[in-house]
């Protein structure tokens, strides 16, 4: 069972059930995206992170939980290398300026966004 912090649990609960593609930008350890796949909340996951070390954690977790065949992982900034449309995209744990920069280049790659900036909240609004 994947344990989430209160903050991550809140974000996880915002994800609707039965969606085709969920993207987690800046996925870090991959807990939200992997839990969504394990619990069949989503059919396919896309995870991105600029940090190779963080992405390695997500890969290990996906392998451990047996969902590595349902997830694509990209070592990139934001949605830069993602070439498919996502139903929902999560961007959390980043500052508002960073989230705004990611949205400038990637807003057209997702139908809906779940955003949780830790600073500069009004900029994201």
- Taking the domains of the chain in order of start, what are their residue ranges? 19-117
Residue 13: Cβ-neighbour burial (10 angstroms; 0-12, 13-18, 19+): exposed
Average pLDDT, the chain: 95
pLDDT at 34 over 90: yes
Going by pLDDT thresholds of 50, 70 and 90, the confidence category of residue 117 is very high
* pLDDT exceeds cutoff 90 at 125: no
CATH class of 19-117: alpha beta
CA–chain centroid gap for 4, Å, is 14
Assign 20 a pLDDT band (cuts: 50, 70, 90): very high
Which helix (H) or strand (E) segment is 86 a member of? Answer: strand 86-92
Is 0.75 topped by the overall pTM?
yes
What's the distance, CA 113 to chain centroid? 10
Q: Which element (helix H / strand E) includes 11?
A: helix 6-13
Q: With 90 as the cut, is the pLDDT of residue 14 above it?
A: yes
The pLDDT assigned to 105 comes to 81
Strands (E) across 3-79 are located at 19-25, 42-49, 71-75
């Amino acid at each position: 069972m994947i344990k989430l912090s209160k903050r991550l649990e809140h974000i996880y609960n915002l994800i609707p059930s039965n969606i085709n593609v969920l993207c987690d930008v800046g996925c870090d350890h991959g807990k939200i995206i992997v839990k969504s796949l394990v619990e069949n909340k989503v059919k396919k996951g896309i995870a991105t992170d600029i940090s190779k070390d963080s992405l390695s954690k997500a890969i290990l977790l996906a392998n451990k939980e047996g969902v590595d065949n349902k997830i694509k992982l990209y070592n990139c900034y934001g949605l830069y290398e993602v070439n498919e449309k996502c139903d929902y995209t999560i961007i959390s744990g980043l500052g508002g300026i960073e989230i705004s920069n990611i949205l400038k280049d990637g807003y057209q790659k997702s139908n809906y966004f779940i955003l949780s900036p830790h600073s500069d909240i009004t900029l994201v609004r």
